[in-house]
Amino acid sequence: MPTGWMPRAMREPPNLVPVSWPGPVKPCSALLVNPFYPKDPHASFGKHVLTPSLALTSIAASTPENWDVRYWDENLLQGPPPHEPLPAVVGISVHLTFAERAYELARWYRAQGALVVLGGLHVISCPEECARHADALAIGDGVALWGEILRDVEQGRLQRAYRADFRRPYREDPPPRRDLLARDGFLTTTSLIATRGCHNRCGFCYLATEGLHMPYLMRDVEQIVDEFQHDGQPYGVFVDNNLGSRPEYLRRLCHALRPLEKIWSAAVSIDVTDDPDLVREMALAGCTGVFVGFESLHNDNITAAGKKSPRTEDYARRVELLHRNGIQVNGSFVLGFDHDREDVFEKTVDWVEENRLECATFHILTPYPGTPLFSQMESEGRLLHQDWSKYDTAHVVFQPKHLTPEQLAEGYAWCYQRLFSHASIWRRRPRDYRAMPAYLAMSYLYKRSNWLWHLLIKYRLTARVWRPLVELTRRRHLRFRRRLERKGAAEPRHGSSVVSAGV
C-alpha cells in the first residue's frame, strides 16, 4: 500500500445533479443524511464501515407514524443521496470536518424545494454559521426534537431553531431504526449505546464543548439486551463515550449479556481495570476488544488535559490484565501535546509493540471549536487557520509548543506507516498460537487492505468478507470463556483471537 495513497472515491464526495428548478415534494416524507467526509490516507478505510451512524437511526425512530423516513450514508459510496421523489424534509448531520459538504447538500435540496434541518455537534458549537444554510436547526438532543419539527412542518409553522438539552431520561429513547440500514454494507449493524456522557471532561474532547451539557445517563439493561437480540448479529459495538464510567452498571450489563453468547467491543477508560473481577465479567459476557483512550505516555500531558487517569507507568500492567482475560486492546494516542517532543512518535509506537496492543489509533491534537483547548489556542495565537475540513485529527491546525507543524504531521504519518508494517504486525502478535490465524487475518484485512476497501464498500461486500471471521471469533471466544470459567482470571492466559478493529 503506497504511503498516503487513496482512491478518488475515498477523498472526494459524489457529484450532485445540477438543479434548474424546484420540483414537487412528497408530503410527509423525510430523509436523514450522513454526509461524505474524506478518509485519512494513513489510517484504515475499513473502520468507516464497521458500524452505521447510531445518531441518525435513533432520530429516525422518533419519526411520527404518518411520516415515511429514509436513511442515506454517502460514505457507503452509492452515489449522491436520493431526490426522486423529493422528500419534504431533509435532516443532515453536521460535524465540523464535513460541514462544507453538509452545506452543499443543504443548498442542493433547498434549491429543489425541500426543507432542510441541520443538527449535530457543529450546530451546537457554531449555530450562527449553520443557520445560514438551513430552514431550521436542531440544537441539542435530536431524538427529542425530530418529531416536534415534523409536526410543525405539517402545520406550516416551522421555527428557525429548536432546542433540547440532554437531561431527559435516556431510557425513554425508542430503539434505533436498524431496519433502514443496508445490512450488507457494514461489518455489523448492531451499534449499541447503553450510556451517554463520560466521567472525564478532557479539555480537548468534544464533550467539553461550551453549551453541551451531557450528564451521564444510563438506559435500562433490559433495553440493551433486547436490541442486541433483535438485530440478529453475532457481534455488537458499543459506541458509548465510556461504557465503564459506572462500574456497577457495567457489571449488571455484563450479567445480562452473558447468556446471549454474542461478542462485543466498547470504549472504556483504562481505569476499568481498577477492578480485575469486573474485567473478568466483561470477558465472560462476550467482550473481545476495548478501545482505550491512553492519550499520552507522559503524565504531564494527562494532567494538563484534565483527564482522570492512572499513572502512565501503570498502563502496561493494566493492558496485561485485559489480555489475560482474552480482551484485545485498541489504544488511542493523541500527538502534539505541549509536553511532546521529537521522540514522542518512536516512544509511543515502541510502547504499543512492547505491550502487544492488537491495534492503535493515532490522532493529531485538534482544538475543536467551543472546547477549552480551542479557547486556549486562540488566546495564545496558536491556531494556524479555521478551515474546519482540516480539523479531523489528521491535519495540524495549530502551532505545537516543542515541534514544528511539519514535524508533527510527518511523525503522525510515520506512526501509522510503522504500525501497518509487516514487522509491527508480527511483533504485536498474540502469545497464544491459537489466536494467530484470526489476528493476522484481521490485521491484514483491516490495516493493509486500503487498496481493496473502496471496492468492498462500493459493491456491498463488507459483510460478506468480514462476518465469517466474526463468527469464527465468536466461537473461539466461547471456548475461551469456558476455560476462563474453569480456571479463573488469576492464571495468566492469552486466549481468544478477537476482532479489535471494531472498537
- Answer for the pair 458, 75: CB distance below 8 angstroms, yes or no: no
pLDDT at 204: 63
Q: What strand order describes the sheet that includes 191-192?
A: 191-192, 235-238, 263-268, 287-295, 328-335, 359-364
pLDDT for the residue numbered 247: 95
Q: What angle do CA 79, 85, 87 make, to 5 degrees?
A: 90
pLDDT single digits (tens) 121-163: 899 989 999 999 999 999 999 999 999 999 999 999 999 999 9
Ranges in the chain, pLDDT < 70: 1-4, 198-214, 488-503
pLDDT at residue number 300: 95
Query: What pLDDT shows up at residue 212?
Result: 62
CB 377 within 8 A of CB 207: no
How many angstroms separate the CA atoms of 174 and 108, rounded? 31
Provide CB contacts within 8 A for 443, sequence distance 6+: 358, 425
Q: What is the pLDDT of residue 489?
A: 44
How far apart CA 346 and CA 338 sit, in angstroms, is: 17
pLDDT for position 436: 87
> Regarding the domain delimited by 8-170, which CATH topology (the fold level of the hierarchy) does it fall under?
Rossmann fold (3.40.50)
Task: Please give the pLDDT value at position 127.
Answer: 94
DSSP 404-469: -HHHHHHHHHHHHHHHTSHHHHHHT--SSGGGHHHHHHHHHHHHS-HHHHHHHHHTT-HHHHHHHH
The whole-angstrom separation of Cα 154 and Cα 150 is: 6
Burial-class residue 460 by CB neighbours within 10 Å (0-12, 13-18, 19+). middle
Q: What pLDDT is stored for residue 209 in this prediction?
A: 63
Distance between CA atoms of 348 and 461, rounded to whole angstroms? 34
What is the model's pLDDT at position 106? 98
pLDDT of the residue at 10 = 93
Sequence-distant (6+) residues with CB within 8 A of 12 are 38
**pLDDT at position 199:** 65
pLDDT of residue 493: 43
Residues 6+ apart with CB under 8 A from 170: 195, 196, 217, 218, 219
Alpha carbon distance 304, 311 (integer Å): 13
The pLDDT of residue 496 is 41
* Residue 306: per-residue pLDDT: 85
pTM over 0.85: yes
Q: Which grid cell is 262?
A: 454474542
Q: Does domain 182-487 have CATH number 3.80.30.20?
A: yes
DSSP single-letter state for residue 398: B
Q: What residue ranges do the domains of the chain occupy?
A: 8-170, 182-487
Q: What is the pLDDT of residue 211?
A: 58
Q: Which residue has the cell 493476522?
A: 440
